[in-house]
Structure 1
Amino acid sequence: MKHFPFALLLWSVLPASASASADVSPSLPIRQEAPPDGWAAQAGGTRGGADAAAANVFTVTDAVQLRSALSSGIKGSRIVQVAGVIDMSEGRPFASTADQARRGRVALPANTTLVGIGAGAGFVNAHLKVAKVSQVIIRNLNLRNPCDVAPRWDPTDGKNGNWNAQFDSISITGSTHVWIDRNSFTDAPVLDDTLPVENGKPRQCHDGTLDISDASDYVTVSYNHFALHDKTMLIGASDKAVQDAGRLRVTISNNLFEYVASRAPRVRFGQVHLFNNYYVGDRRHPVYRHGYSVGVAKAARIVSHANAFEIAGARTCLDAIRPFASGADAGLFTDSGSLLNGAALAPACSNTGNPGDTVAWAVPYPFKPLPADAVPAHVRAHAGAGK
Structure 2
Amino acid sequence: MRLITKAFAGACAIALLAVAAPAATGSEEAGETVAGPLSRGSGTALGHQVLGPRDGWAAYGRGTTGGASAAPGDVHTVSTRSELLAALGEQDNDTPKIIYVSGTIDINVDEQDRPVDCGYFADPGYSLAAYLEAYDPETWGMDERPHGPLEEARDRSHRNQAAHSIYRVPSNTTLVGLGKDARITGGAMYIRGAQNVIVRNLTFADNADCFPAWDPLDGAAGNWNSEFDAVWVHSSTHVWMDHNTFDGGGRPEQEHFGRTFMIYDGSVDITRGSDLVTMSYNHFDNYDKGMLVGGGDGHQEDIGRLRVTYHHNLFENVMQRSPRVRRGEVHLYNNHYRVTDEGIFDYAWGVGLESSIYAQNNYFEGPIAPGSIAHRWNGTDLYETGTYLNGVSRRHQVDVVSAHNAARPGSPLGTEAGWTPWLYEKIDPVAKVSRDVPRNAGAGKLD
Common fold: TM-score over 0.5: yes
**Contact preservation (8 Å) 2:94, 2:171:** no
User: What corresponds to 2:116 in structure 1?
Assistant: 92
Residues 333, 350 of structure 1: 8 Å contact kept: no
Between the aligned partners of 1:214 and 1:40, the Cα distance in structure 2 is 17
Match of 1:294 among 349, 361, 364: 349
With over 3 angstroms needed to count, the CA separation of the structure-2 counterparts of 1:345 and 1:357, relative to structure 1, is closer
C-alpha distance in 2, partners of 1:192/1:234?
Answer: 18
Ranges of 4+ aligned residues in structure 1 off by more than 3 Å: 25-28, 347-357
- 2:274 is aligned with 1:213: no
Q: CA deviation at 1:379?
A: 0.5
In the other structure, the counterpart of 1:323 is 376
Match of residue 389 from structure 2: 340
Alignment counterpart, residue 128 of structure 1, candidates 160, 174, 189: 189
> What is the distance in 2 between the residues matched to 1:370 and 1:267?
24
Equivalent residue for 1:265, pick from 303, 323, 343 = 323
| Offset of residue 37 of structure 1 | 2.3
Which ranges of structure 1 fall in alignment gaps of 5 or more residues?
15-24
Please say which of residues 124-133 and 352-361 is displaced more in the overlay: 352-361
What is the CA distance between 1:246 and its match in structure 2? Answer: 1.3
Quote the residue 1:63 is aligned against. Answer: 81
Displacement of 1:324 = 1.4
Contact 1:211 1:234 in 2 (8 A): yes
Question: For the pair shown, which has the larger CA radius of gyration, 1 or 2?
Answer: 2
**How big is the shift at 1:48?**
0.8
Q: Which residue of structure 2 lines up, in the alignment, with residue 79 of structure 1?
A: 98
What is the RMSD of the two structures over their aligned residues, measured on CA atoms? Answer: 2.3
2:79, 2:289 → 1: CA distance?
30
1:53 paired residue number: 71
Structural mapping, 1:127-276, within 5 Å: 127-188=188-249, 191-194=250-253, 196-276=254-334
Does structure 2 conserve the Cα–Cα contact (< 8 Å) formed by 1:52 and 1:77? yes
The alpha-carbon deviation at position 202 of structure 1 amounts to 2.0
CA separation of 1:222 and 1:345: change in aligned 2, threshold 3 A = same
Report how far residue 45 of structure 1 moved: 0.3
Q: Structure 2 length as normaliser, TM-score?
A: 0.76
Question: Which whole-Å CA distance do the structure 1 matches of 2:58 and 2:117 have between them?
Answer: 37
1:145 positional shift: 4.3
Change (3 A) 1:278 1:294: same
Deviations 1:33-59 (A, max 9, x none): 122220000111011111111100000
| Pairwise CA distance, 1:284 | 2.2
The residue that corresponds to 1:104 in the other structure is 165
- Corresponding residue SS for 1:50: coil
Give 1 or 2: higher helix fraction.
2
What is the Cα deviation at residue 323 of structure 1?
1.3
Write out per-residue CA displacement over residues 278-329 of structure 1, whole angstroms, 9 at most, x where no aligned residue.
00125725xxx110111111111011110001131x33x321111112xxxx
Distance 2:258 2:94 in 1: 51
- Which structure has more strand as a fraction of its residues? 1
CA contact (8 A) 2:93 2:171 kept: no
For structure 2, the 5+ residue unaligned runs are 9-40, 110-114, 122-156, 406-410
1:318-375 deviation digits (Å, cap 9, x = unpaired)? 21111112xxxx3421112121223212364499776655212111224321111221
Give the partner amino acid of 1:53: A
- Cα separation, 2, equivalents of 1:335 and 1:309: 14
Normalising by structure 1, report the TM-score. Answer: 0.87
Asked if the contact 1:283/1:291 (under 8 Å) is kept, the reply is no
Structure 1 CA distance for aligned equivalents of residues 237 and 380 of structure 2: 23
2:408 aligned partner: none
Q: Contact 1:351/1:357 (CA < 8 Å) preserved in 2?
A: no
1:385 paired with 2:443, answer yes
Offset from partner CA, 1:162-201 (integer Å, 9 cap, x none): 000010000001000000111101134xx4344x311111
Offset, 1:264: 0.4
Distance 1:359-1:80 versus aligned 2 partners, 3 A rule? same
